[in-house]
Amino acid sequence: MSTRIRLQEAFKFALSIVLTYWLGLWMDWDLVKYGPEAIVLISLSTSGASINKAMMRVIGTSVACVVAIILIQWFSQARWSMMFALAGYLVFTSYFLQTSRYPYAWYVAAFVPISIWTNTYGTFDNTFHFAIFRLLETVSGVFIYSLVSVLLWPQTAGEQFYRKGGEYLEQLCHLVKLNQNELRGGLKSGEATIALRKLDVLSAQLQVTLGAALTDTMLVREYKHDWECALATLRTLTDSMGLWQSTNEMYQRLYPKQRQPELEQAMQVIEARCTRIGELWRSRQLPSEVLPSDDVLLLQKLALELPPLGAITNVERGLLINRIEQLRQLDQQSYNLLLLMRVLTGLDSSAVLPAAIKHLALEQPPRWDSVRLLKSLVPAIAFIIGFLFWVFPSTPPPTGQTIAKISAIFGLMTVLGANVRYVWLIYATAGLLVVAPIYFIVMPWLDSGAALLTMIFLLSFTFGYLGQRWPMLKTSVMLLFVMSTAISNNQSYSFVAWISGEFLMVIAGIIINVVMMFMVSIRPERLMSRYIHDFFYTCSEIPSGFINITTRKQRQEGLLRKLRGTLAKLRKVERTLDYSRLPENERERVNHLLDSIESIAARLRVVNTLAERFTANGSVAPLGSELPRRLQQLFERWAKITTVTRIAEEERDAVKAIYYELEERLDAYNKFPENPSYNERMASDMTALIGGVRGLLDAMDGMEKSIRNIHWTEWTKARI
């Protein structure tokens, strides 16, 4: 972000804060601070992102005001009933916050009822008045900031979306080039794996940016469905690229001297398509720079057939068939995406999009998840401890019920994924070093409204500018300033109230840290172990479906979807690991383990697809019953990862023996092609299936090495 844009964004932020204060003071509203508070929390880098967050804040506040009025009406005369009612409400909202597409709305809806209860304690007759004015102030702040953001130097998310898409496709082209280099016998440096991890991060950013662009960029909103299709197709293309890379690495390792020029040429075409797709994607930002072309050569489907081969093993033939099948998928997906981008840029508006281009529904998480329930208990437990800390001391601090509110807010932040270990200290330090001098020294000198608003503008502009680089600095200082100064027409200055607020924040920080210290089961390293166990347990259920796959098709698809969901959880948890506390398991080891897990999931998906195809053509179970049973046993052993860290040699030999019997069966079948029962398609499918099983066994060997590199006891031992 350039200096000019940072200055513009800081000016818009400061102007919005001042206008909201001016409106509240001019109208003599009771709760002026809640308008600026909303602005501090919804101000983001683009208009679309800010408006989306603003809408969620208004919706969450509206729901929360209704809930607060109802709960206070029911339980205002019963202290303990109120405590349990609010704690139960926190559990409910925290549980659904973790899977909602609108988590910020749930977050606001969770803490605002507690805030209303805190501020109206002892004067519950004013609950309705307080709730309505809080909602009014929030709406006014949101409206003013949204208006200023749109009218003055709007920073639309559309430009960011086009730029992020270009970055994604540049990285994808880089990944394709790395795989081409490996096809030519180049060195394997591990760059391809790193590129895949970067694409995973960029994909999440691109999805979020699209949501903001749909709000503030009409050109994106007009083609909403097409852009969603483009993202879904791009994600599928990347997944297929990862599967191709995994299979290709194994083939190059087993047969390093084998070269297939046809495959190299196919990868060159796919790279050229990705490059062209990137040009068209970026051209939406500057339509005049779109390079007109009919793309005739790039829109031709690749003729991918098994090349003439000499005497090779069934394993090599099967791996070649799988590679070609995966190249066909890359060919189809890159063709679909190129055609869609030509339609979006107006180069081919008459094109008929293939049926394969369709919006892919988001994976819905399961309704019940014990980990989500444990996380949702954190805000409720913190709230109850804060509540008890206020109730039981014989001389509680002034407005002591605030400690329960702040503890609950810190707990909700942990549910959102924030690390609150030092947040309380940051807020307390910001209040002491920045807000306190302004509150006790500067503000008492400013007896006129114009001078006060000028000071607010300068403060907001300064930290709005610094916040472009350090968002936490802007949020902590401005939020503390807005809430602790409580500017109004009846301004008062209380040292006791201010210092008690700082004290309550420190106590709330200690409470949430104590709660997190004892909530051992939701620590990232414990969640890693738990999700890895769930992954292998799901893997153990899949081989049983190979025996009669046609009757278990729906079940198999459900298990494969569950694997994808677990992989996403693992990557998300990995980003929250504190490696400084886990010296034996450095980042490279953990990422290698996750790469092996992703390889296992991809190979299982391939084997399942090939087994399904073979069964449909041959009406027999292709793998028999012994091999699936053995695979199931091995995955079950890995599921007990904390106690068993390797596969016994005899177990591995038993699996290999069954696999070799499978190869011999195919050899015997191919010896008599003149037999009337011989089916060339069945022989080809069986060969491909053997290649897929060989790939799965190879991935399992790599998995075992990754497992041995992890110190599992370090993840499971107790820590304070």
The full length of the chain comes to 720
**pLDDT value of residue 336:** 86
Per-residue pLDDT reduced to its tens digit, 158-182: 888 888 888 888 888 888 888 877 7
CB 158 within 8 A of CB 220: yes
Distance in angstroms (rounded) separating the CA atoms of residues 579 and 525? 10
| Residue 291 pLDDT level (bands cut at 50, 70, 90) | low
**pLDDT value of residue 292:** 61
Does residue 89 fall inside a structural domain? Answer: yes
**pLDDT value of residue 359:** 42
| Residue 360 pLDDT level (bands cut at 50, 70, 90) | very low
Note whether 430 and 537 are same-domain residues: no
State yes or no: pLDDT of 254 exceeds 80: no
Distance in angstroms (rounded) separating the CA atoms of residues 672 and 315? 19
State yes or no: pLDDT of 719 exceeds 80: no
| Residue 31 pLDDT level (bands cut at 50, 70, 90) | confident
Note whether 201 and 63 are same-domain residues: no
Between the ranges 13-17, 26-30, 499-503, where is the mean pLDDT highest? 13-17
Per-residue pLDDT reduced to its tens digit, 699-717: 888 888 888 888 888 777 7
Mean pLDDT along residues 651-670: 74
Segment holding 41, helix H or strand E: helix 34-42
pTM of the complete model beyond 0.75: yes
Which one is predicted more confidently, 24 or 290?
A: 24
Does residue 190 fall inside a structural domain? Answer: yes
State yes or no: pLDDT of 86 exceeds 70: yes
**pLDDT value of residue 511:** 92
Note whether 316 and 388 are same-domain residues: no
Which residue, 486, 481, 703, 707, is CA-closest to 604? 703
Does residue 390 fall inside a structural domain? Answer: yes
Domain boundary pick from 497, 520, 543: 520
Any idea what the Cα angle at residue 361 is, between residues 356 and 367, rounded to 5°? 150
| Residue 439 pLDDT level (bands cut at 50, 70, 90) | confident
Per-residue pLDDT reduced to its tens digit, 664-698: 777 776 666 666 655 666 777 778 888 888 888 88
Domain boundary pick from 520, 551, 577: 520
Distance in angstroms (rounded) separating the CA atoms of residues 586 and 589? 6
Q: Which of 128-137, 464-473, 552-561, 619-628 has the lowest mean pLDDT?
A: 619-628
The domain containing residue 447 runs over which residues?
A: 3-154+366-520
Does residue 503 fall inside a structural domain? Answer: yes
Note whether 168 and 295 are same-domain residues: yes
**pLDDT value of residue 554:** 78
State yes or no: pLDDT of 346 exceeds 70: yes
Which one is predicted more confidently, 131 or 398?
A: 131
Structural tokens at position 362: 């988001």
Does residue 358 fall inside a structural domain? Answer: no
CB 15 within 8 A of CB 457: yes
State yes or no: pLDDT of 239 exceeds 50: yes
Q: Which of 366-380, 487-501, 646-660 has the lowest mean pLDDT?
A: 646-660
What DSSP letter does each residue of 414-446 carry, written as one string? HHTT---TTHHHHHHHHIIIIIHHIIIIIGGG-
Structural tokens at position 6: 């940072």
Note whether 138 and 163 are same-domain residues: no
State yes or no: pLDDT of 649 exceeds 50: yes
Note whether 503 and 634 are same-domain residues: no
Which residue, 520, 528, 532, 582, is CA-closest to 718? 520
**pLDDT value of residue 361:** 46
Distance in angstroms (rounded) separating the CA atoms of residues 180 and 192? 11
What is the chain's alpha carbon radius of gyration, rounded to the nearest angstrom? 30
Mean pLDDT along residues 223-235: 85
**pLDDT value of residue 233:** 86
Q: How far is CA 446 from CA 361, 417, 455, 456, in A?
A: 57, 41, 9, 11
Per-residue pLDDT reduced to its tens digit, 552-602: 777 888 888 888 888 888 888 888 888 887 788 888 888 888 888 888 888
Which residue, 179, 177, 163, 196, is CA-closest to 278? 163
Q: Which of 23-37, 50-64, 93-107, 173-187 has the lowest mean pLDDT?
A: 173-187
Structural tokens at position 431: 């209040």
- In total, how many domains does the chain have? 3
Does residue 49 fall inside a structural domain? Answer: yes
State yes or no: pLDDT of 187 exceeds 70: no
Domain boundary pick from 520, 554, 575: 520
Per-residue pLDDT reduced to its tens digit, 70-80: 999 898 888 88
Distance in angstroms (rounded) separating the CA atoms of residues 524 and 468? 29
Note whether 236 and 269 are same-domain residues: yes
CB 401 within 8 A of CB 479: no
Q: Which of 215-219, 281-285, 358-362, 604-608 has the lowest mean pLDDT?
A: 358-362
Burial of residue 610 (CB within 10 Å: 0-12, 13-18, 19+) is: buried
Note whether 97 and 246 are same-domain residues: no
Q: Which of 18-27, 508-517, 708-717 has the lowest mean pLDDT?
A: 708-717
Does residue 357 fall inside a structural domain? Answer: no
Mean pLDDT along residues 619-643: 75
**pLDDT value of residue 365:** 67
Note whether 79 and 225 are same-domain residues: no
Note whether 7 and 100 are same-domain residues: yes
What DSSP letter does each residue of 467-534 carry, written as one string? TTT-HHHHHHHHHHHHHHH---TT----HHHHHHHHHHHHHHHHHHHHHHHH-GGGSHHHHHHHHHHH
Does residue 330 fall inside a structural domain? Answer: yes
Query: What does pLDDT average to over the chain?
Result: 83
Note whether 237 and 127 are same-domain residues: no
The owner of tokens 């004067």 is 123
Q: How far is CA 597 from CA 366, 453, 593, 632, in A?
A: 21, 57, 6, 16
Q: Which of 129-133, 179-183, 237-241 has the lowest mean pLDDT?
A: 179-183
Per-residue pLDDT reduced to its tens digit, 295-336: 778 888 877 776 655 567 777 777 788 888 888 888 888 888
Note whether 543 and 514 are same-domain residues: no
State yes or no: pLDDT of 65 exceeds 90: yes
Rounded to the nearest angstrom, the gap between the alpha carbon of residue 685 and the centroid of all alpha carbons in its chain is 37
CATH number of 549's domain: 1.20.58
State yes or no: pLDDT of 226 exceeds 90: no
State yes or no: pLDDT of 445 exceeds 70: yes
State yes or no: pLDDT of 104 exceeds 60: yes
Q: What's the farthest any 2 CA atoms get from each other in the chain? A: 104
**pLDDT value of residue 397:** 66
